[in-house]
Amino acid sequence: MSEQRIIIKRSVNRSSVVFLVIVLLLSFGLYFYNTHLEKEIVGVKGEIIKIESEMKDINDDKKIQIYTLLELNKEVINSYSKNNKVVSFINHLDTVKSKYSLNFNWFNLSDKELITNIEVKSDKEKQAYQKTKDFIKNYRKDNSSLFDLDYINLVEWMEEMKYKVKFNIK
């Protein structure tokens, strides 16, 4: 028998080797890039923890809490301060009384409105209804008034005119 030698030639495909090398290089590159990103993430997380701690310290400060509450409720506080100008309201009513010859019997100030009873008497110069008409007409047009005059629903008129008025604080 004769021996035959079978020689198997291995052909190496260069493109496969090049592709393998590229894949390995990319894998190592992505691994190192991922490691770099993880370090940055850890650093950013540390900064976030530090900032959150500082924010907690700031929010725990009583002065900051009070300031925050004041800012949140600024409009409500300003509306209350408008309602607390009782002296200026009384002075304004006194001016209106003199200007239109009216008598205010009482008033009730509550929640952005002032309610009062008005009595108007006739005199030599004008009748009570003329004074009332002038008051209603001119007061609504007056830019210096502190109130908006609401509708007058009921007027009593015998010897003098009596009616209830509601003013809304501007």
Residue 42 confidence (pLDDT): 95
21 versus 155: which is more confidently predicted? 21
Terminal-to-terminal C-alpha distance of the chain: 124
Q: Is the pTM of this model over 0.85?
A: no
The topology (CATH level 3) of 85-169 is Alpha-Beta Plaits (3.30.70)
Residue 166 confidence (pLDDT): 92
Percent of the chain with pLDDT over 90: 36
* Average pLDDT of the segment spanning 35-51: 95
Mean pLDDT, all residues of the chain = 86
**How far apart (Å, rounded) are the C-alpha atoms in residues 114 and 167?**
5
170 versus 80: which is more confidently predicted? 170
The number of beta carbons lying within 10 Å of the beta carbon of residue 15 is: 7
* Average pLDDT of the segment spanning 52-73: 85
**How far apart (Å, rounded) are the C-alpha atoms in residues 167 and 29?**
79
Residue 154 confidence (pLDDT): 85
Domains of the chain by residue range: 14-72, 85-169
* Average pLDDT of the segment spanning 106-131: 88
> Among 112, 167, 119, which residue's Cα sits nearest to residue 142?
167
Residue 75 binned pLDDT confidence (cut-offs 50, 70, 90): confident
Tens-digit pLDDT profile for residues 2-13: 566 665 555 567
